[in-house]
Amino acid sequence: MVLATLLGALAVPLPTAAFQAAEVFQKGTWVLSLEGGGGGEENFDVRNEETGFDLWYAGLRVSRLPFAPLGAGAVRGSLEIGLEPIYQRYTGVVSAFFAGLALVGRLHFLGLGRVVPYVEVAGAIGGTDLNVREIESDFTFWLAAGAGASVFVTDRVALYAGYRLVHVSNGGTDDPNRGFEAHTGLAGVSFFLR
């Protein structure tokens, strides 16, 4: 799904005018992103059985670029920091949810013109009704790390797709707390506003 979304974004005809990443990623730019993703549980702890549920999630991120682009060449980058309410739904063998607020950091690499790779980390706290052998509590942490790429279809609108490893745990505030991981794909759209 992620690869198909990214290939579809690359097939969109792009404006012929030169893209000026430094202008789009100026200090103080606001970024509004709508995204969704999904995947399946994948526990790294091989000694225990997993419940085997699937999940999908959606979020709306409001971010700011606090600094001017830094570096040169292939490592020229711009930092995005934002807040994102996230809703995650568990499906398959269970029916449950997570809802929380995440702090997200995304580092964009600006050296490839309209194609802008990124790496990201995110951490959220929130509530859940997921009660399975891996985790059973009303409070949980949602952590994620990933990478992907944006394709600017206009000078201020980018479609993006990527991979995100998600970890969910209650941080030892309740038992059980083995937690779980999920390999997920995501896709979204970002609007860069001055």
CA distance 146 to 166: 9
In the numeric block, the tokens 């969109």 are attached to: 12
Q: Is the pLDDT of residue 161 over 90?
A: yes
Number of separate domains in the chain: 1
Residue 19 lies in a domain: no
CA distance 183 to 156: 30
Residue 146 lies in a domain: yes
Residue 45 lies in a domain: yes
Tell me if 77 sits within 8 A of 119, measured CB to CB. Answer: no
CA distance 87 to 124: 11
Output the domain CATH number for residue 77: 2.40.160.20
Q: What is the mean pLDDT of the chain?
A: 88
Closest to 100 (Cα-Cα) out of 132, 125, 74: 125
**Total-model pTM:** 0.86
DSSP assignment letter at 8: H
CA distance 127 to 140: 6
Residue 179 lies in a domain: yes
Residue 173 lies in a domain: yes
Q: Is the pLDDT of residue 145 over 60?
A: yes
Q: Is the pLDDT of residue 11 over 70?
A: no
Tell me if 79 sits within 8 A of 71, measured CB to CB. Answer: no
* Residues spanned by the domain of 136: 2-12+30-193
Does the N-terminal peptide bond of residue 117 adopt cis geometry, omega within 30 degrees of 0?
no
Indicate the pLDDT class of residue 8, thresholds 50, 70 and 90. low
Q: Which residue has the higher pLDDT, 46 or 185?
A: 185
Indicate the pLDDT class of residue 9, thresholds 50, 70 and 90. very low
Residue 68 lies in a domain: yes
Does the N-terminal peptide bond of residue 15 adopt cis geometry, omega within 30 degrees of 0?
no
Tens digits of residue pLDDT in 53-79: 899 999 999 999 999 999 988 789 999
CA distance 173 to 179: 12
For the chain, state the CA radius of gyration.
Answer: 18
Residue 70 is predicted with a pLDDT of 92
Residue 54 lies in a domain: yes
Q: Is the pLDDT of residue 15 over 50?
A: no
Q: Is the pLDDT of residue 174 over 80?
A: no
